[in-house]
Amino acid sequence: MAKFDMAEVVEAFRREWEKHKMQVEQYKPPVYKCQNCKDTGFLDLYPSDPRRASGGKVGTVMYCPYCRANTLRGISGLIAEYRQLDIKKFPWETYERDVTKLKQTVESFVYDFQRWKDEGVGLYIYSEARGSGKTMVANAICGSICTKYNIPVRFSKVEDFLDDIKKSYDGKEKGILTGVNVRKYFDAELLVIDDLGVSKINDWGKDRLHELINERYKTGRLCIITSNFRPEQLPIHAPTIDRINDMCLAIHFPEEPIRSQKTLTRKNRLMQYVRSYDTFTDCDKAPFKGETHE
């Protein structure tokens, strides 16, 4: 039997290791966007138990709900500015009016969504005042529901819906099946129709809107509608209003034009700054410097 010099074996191993030492020092562990699933999109419920709780008979791998919530938010059409907004972070304190009941209703809609769904009741958020936060709250509700229940929601303006429908009609004539594109409005578990009644809808549009509302009504899918009109004053078909009345709880948002109040504060701040100087010099930084595209 050959004899080994153990000291030499160890030394050889050390020399080998020295060769890789530099690479090891430079190695940076990957940075994951999602710490829960390490960006695989899946979670193993029993990662440390190779025999699994069910003896390997039932799959214990699930979609990573954290990633899925982000993906769902990403494809829901939420306004970019409000994409991370959560109902918990909604600034109710901005309003001068007492909004306790309003807050309670909105929070209940998010936290007891299943109950509202079973009852088939959505929300109709209206205020005559422009910029009172209707769109903002609808985004917050939508985002929270997306994250909390991992369900697909859709946020859209009426015009987007009608544009998509129009495209699908044009498409059919050319033999292209674009109808799939409009199913998202019909099939989403929760649909937000933003600013209903703001732009004029022609008769064709009113018919299409009726089809949408009617199908969602029949299938018990919820809607959140925001508008500057009281429900009964909406400039759409009477039967559509009737269905909206039945499937949505009307909530009157404070008649406080937060947008113009914010604008005023901003402009006042700027004017204060302007008035605080007697003379002006050119800014030292040239605007758009280095952004030329040659």
Select 64 or 222, whichever has its Cβ closest to Zn ion. 64
Report if residue 108 touches Zn ion, rule: CB under 5 A. no
Out of ligand ATP, Mg ion, Zn ion, none, what residue 133 binds, judged by CB under 5 to 8 A for its kind, is: ligand ATP
User: Binding to Mg ion by residue 135, rule CB under 5 A?
Assistant: yes
Q: Do the Cβ atoms of 85 and 92 come closer than 8 Å?
A: no
SS3 call for 160:
helix
169 binds, among Mg ion, Zn ion, ligand ATP, none (CB under 5 to 8 A by kind): none
If binding is defined by CB under 5 A, does position 69 make contact with Zn ion? no
Residue closer to Mg ion, measured from CB, 95 or 169: 95
CB-side exposure of 166: number of CA atoms within 13 Å? 10
Query: Count of residues for the chain?
Result: 294
- Between vectors from CA 159 to CA 157 and to CA 162, what angle results, nearest 5°? 120
76 interacts with, out of Mg ion, Zn ion, ligand ATP, none, CB within 5 to 8 A per kind: none
* 91 scored as a contact of ligand ATP (CB under 6 A): yes
Q: How far, in Å, CA of 103 to CA of 99, rounded? A: 6
- Quote the CA–CA distance of 294 and 289 in Å, as a whole number: 13
Angle at 182 between CA 178 and CA 188, to 5 degrees: 140
DSSP 8-state class, residue 129: S
Site map for ligand ATP, 136-175, x if CB under 6 A?
A: x---------------------------------------
Sheet strands side by side (includes 122-126): 153-157, 190-196, 222-227, 122-126, 248-252
Least distance between ligand ATP and beta carbon 77 (Å)? 15
Q: How many residues bind Zn ion (CB under 5 A)?
A: 6
The binding site for Mg ion (CB under 5 A) comprises 135, 195
The binding site for ligand ATP (CB under 6 A) comprises 91, 94, 130-136, 195, 226, 228, 258-259, 262
